[in-house]
Chains A and B, each alone.
Chain A
């Protein structure tokens, strides 16, 4: 046990990231269940206003900062050194510090539940000046800020670590243009983190200084500006959602190539589009502020439309990878296909709300909730499950069951779409987000009831997944080095890999060294 607490082995650290991520996922999922239970019928009394406001705040915060983001970095921790033929990351102790800062930071956010005023209840975005209310009884809000400052430090340190690792520790023959697409996406993600996260740290630090040291950065009564908070937050916030998707683009690419039995189509296009997305994402932040009247809507609308282009390039490249291949619908591939179908909807609704006349209606409504759940949930979360099924054998040496996996996929896919398709219509009918109840008008009661039923299906799928993991641990069917017949370097060592990863480093002469 002490061995795990003091390890600096990237593989163990990566596995611990995954374990803690899954634990936070269960908690955030339960919170989502509470939301859907409260909204199942209009004027429900299951959760009062303050309880509900804490629940949705913690749900969003946990899913974004404690599940989707750390899984990308956790998997990168495990995988990147293996994919480039390195013995570990460049700074193993820094790596471990990143893990524990993430764990402690996440627990700190939830510790708010134990305080007098409850946990943070201002949404994961914690806008000013709302975030400056309740200083005396608002310890939960402070714990939210310092917890996320800790996770932000963790992410920044991990990004530096991964960048140095990829640039300096590649095996002989592993040139930058031969590294797997997953590793390229991690490079782009890491660069994005370095550019964006300091802005979040600034916003949160300024909010804490306003709250505790009598400053007035965001308080208009004394000349401060609430819109400044929005600028600082969203300058981080929009790149953050690309941090939440780029690693998953990489996972999907590896899975599709493997199960189409083909090389990645348009490798160079994939690399350039990753950086185009990352770069452009730093210029679109105020599309979250179209309704403030305080920003140049045309500038941000134009750049937001532009991001659709490199994303489209990726989509065509994925289809091109499948084209004329030999596609086997294993469980990872099912999740990859689910990703494509879901993320497309997220992307299309995203292009819609990049148009301010549409956003004037859609902003802060359930239309937005639908959009970001399709990208983060239908996209990243599905890729997360696909990645778990795909790399589980490499991490542990034994396999997850394919047949049960199909049931997990079916329940998650059907449940997810049943939950979130109705939300687009809820938004168009005028249902705002972050509301603990709604009136019994129009189709809202029916749409909400369907969404709640869908969420129950998703919960079943998630439960079945954990059952499957327990069963796999019991049965321990050996997986072998390369159970999928995949192409990248991590599949050329044992499952799990030995200490320092490779008994003998294979010669790298192409993008598919295992072929």
Chain B
């Protein structure tokens, strides 16, 4: 599993771990039952199959237990998801616009950079601070996916999607469009570079001419 590079990503990785654990437990249990049947009840000579077709207590049990399990899983999901989807009003707001087939980033001071399929653009984010991303599309539906943040959100024409992200470590993270958008969808990537806050401030002050 990717080592998350954002606070929200850490929460989402916890969700992954819980579900993977539950899934593995259920999987092993069911596989063992099936294996047991195939071995213990193999049709050997003289074997007579027991003709039963009900077991009311058992049937109620395996209706109730999975119900309780999914309630618990939903509770976990809801608790983890709500803070991630919640949008506050952090001062650092970046407008991201997707188009066929690259990205444009507009920073709070008006600095703007755009890329091409062969020259993916870089999105600079300050570490340890919350950034609000406003997602737009110029043409068809795209999707802003940063695997290192374990997160994506669609860029839909006619809509503005807003989300907050707080990177928790510096680094360069390859990212990409995730919603099929036509011919060069496969080449529509970008880079998220998380930099120290001072570096970010210098980048903004230099209007994007001083690359960190």
Contact = CB atoms under 8 A, between A and B. Distances in A.
Indicate, yes or no, whether A interacts with B. yes
A337 B50 CA distance: 20
A293 interface: yes
A291 interface: yes
Interface string B21-63: 0110011001101100110011100011111111100110011
A434 interface: yes
A430 B23 contact: no
Nearest to B47: A326
B210 interface: no
B33 to A, nearest CB: 5
B70 A306 contact: yes
Given A323-B37, A357-B15, A364-B179, A262 B74 contact: no
Given A293-B161, A355-B15, A264 B53 contact: yes
B184 A49 contact: yes
Interface in A452-476: none
Contacts, number: 237
B2 interface: yes
A355 B55 contact: no
Interface string B108-124: 00000000000000000
Given A323-B41, A365-B178, A351 B19 contact: yes
B75 to A, nearest CB: 10
A508 to B, nearest CB: 17
Given A351-B73, A436-B186, A324 B27 contact: no
B152 A430 contact: no
A327 interface: yes
A130 B174 contact: no
A327 B77 CA distance: 40
Contacts of A363: 143, 152, 178
B158 A220 contact: yes
Interface residues of A, number: 82
Nearest to A122: B180
B140 A130 contact: yes
A313 B63 contact: yes
A432 B20 CA distance: 21
Contact of A428 (B1, B73, B163): B1
Nearest to B39: A327
B182 A438 contact: no
B34 A337 contact: yes
A326 B34 contact: no
Nearest to A360: B151
Contact of A308 (B15, B27, B70, B143): B70
A293 B73 contact: no
B7 interface: no
Most chain B beta-carbon contacts within 10 A, residue among A224, A324, A428: A324
A306 B70 CA distance: 7
Nearest to B20: A352
A309 B174 CA distance: 38
Interface in A46-83: 49-50, 53
A267 interface: yes
Nearest to A345: B27
A322 interface: yes
Contacts of B62: 312-313, 316
Contacts of A478: none
A146 interface: no
B201 interface: no
Interface in A234-270: 260-267, 269
Nearest to A333: B38
A47 B161 CA distance: 35
Interface in A312-329: 312-313, 315-316, 319-320, 322-329
A5 interface: no
B204 interface: no
Contact of A309 (B66, B76, B143, B151): B66
Contacts of A291: 143, 152-154, 178
B186 A226 contact: no
B80 interface: yes
A441 interface: yes
Contact of A292 (B49, B53, B154, B181): B154
Contacts of B41: 260, 322-327
Most chain A beta-carbon contacts within 10 A, residue among B47, B59, B153, B156: B156
Interface in A1-34: none
B177 interface: yes
Contact of A130 (B15, B19, B141, B186): B141
Contacts of B19: 351-352, 355, 358
A357 B77 contact: yes
Contacts of B176: 430, 432
21 contacts: A50-B183, A129-B139, A265-B52, A291-B178, A298-B81, A301-B77, A313-B63, A316-B62, A319-B33, A322-B37, A344-B27, A348-B23, A357-B15, A360-B152, A361-B12, A363-B178, A429-B147, A430-B176, A432-B185, A433-B180, A436-B186
Given A319-B34, A323-B37, A360-B152, 16 more contacts: A127-B140, A130-B181, A226-B140, A227-B159, A261-B49, A262-B53, A269-B59, A293-B159, A309-B67, A313-B62, A324-B41, A326-B43, A357-B80, A358-B15, A432-B178, A434-B186
Interface of B: 1-2, 11-12, 15-16, 19-20, 22-23, 26-27, 30-31, 33-34, 37-38, 41-43, 47-55, 58-59, 62-63, 66-67, 70, 73-74, 76-78, 80-81, 84-85, 139-141, 143, 145, 147, 150-154, 156-159, 161-163, 174, 176-186
Cβ-closest 4 pairs across A and B: A220-B158, A430-B147, A435-B186, A261-B49
